[in-house]
């Protein structure tokens, strides 16, 4: 049973930086995509950034040049460095894992709040 443990959320000032981390428990196989989605109140959940086990990344246009994502396959973990944060980045951020094997399985973290405010 895979669980995703998120950390790094909290309150940050505009223009500041924050790093979110997510680690998957147990074995998740060697082929996966892992990353972050976010959802602001009253808005749809949207992809922020993902990275595959092979290192390919997808970064949302809204955060390009500000956010970066990295992986540690050995630890089954990802980290997302968020810079130049603004109020529009305020949302609940959800870690997401997609495991590709005999079956495709998806996992979600419980969500961690990121609030950008002075």
pLDDT in tens, 13-43: 999 999 999 999 988 888 999 999 999 999 9
Which pLDDT band, with edges at 50, 70 and 90, does 74 fall under?
confident
Average of per-residue pLDDT across 58-73: 95
Would you say residue 76 has pLDDT above 80? yes
- Expressed in percent and rounded to 5, the helix, strand and coil fractions of the chain are 5, 55, 40
100 sits in which H/E element: strand 91-100
The Cα–Cα gap between 88 and 31 comes to: 32
């Amino acid at each position: 049973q895979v669980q995703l443990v998120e950390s790094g959320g909290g309150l940050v000032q505009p223009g500041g930086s924050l790093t979110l981390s997510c680690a998957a428990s147990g074995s998740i196989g060697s082929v996966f995509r892992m990353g972050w989605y976010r959802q602001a109140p009253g808005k749809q959940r949207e992809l922020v950034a993902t990275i595959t086990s092979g290192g390919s990344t997808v970064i949302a246009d809204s955060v390009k040049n500000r956010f970066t994502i990295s992986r540690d396959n050995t630890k089954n973990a990802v980290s997302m460095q968020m810079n130049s944060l603004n109020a529009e980045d305020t949302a609940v951020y959800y870690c997401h894992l997609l495991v590709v094997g005999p079956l495709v399985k998806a996992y979600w973290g419980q969500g961690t709040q990121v609030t950008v405010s002075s």
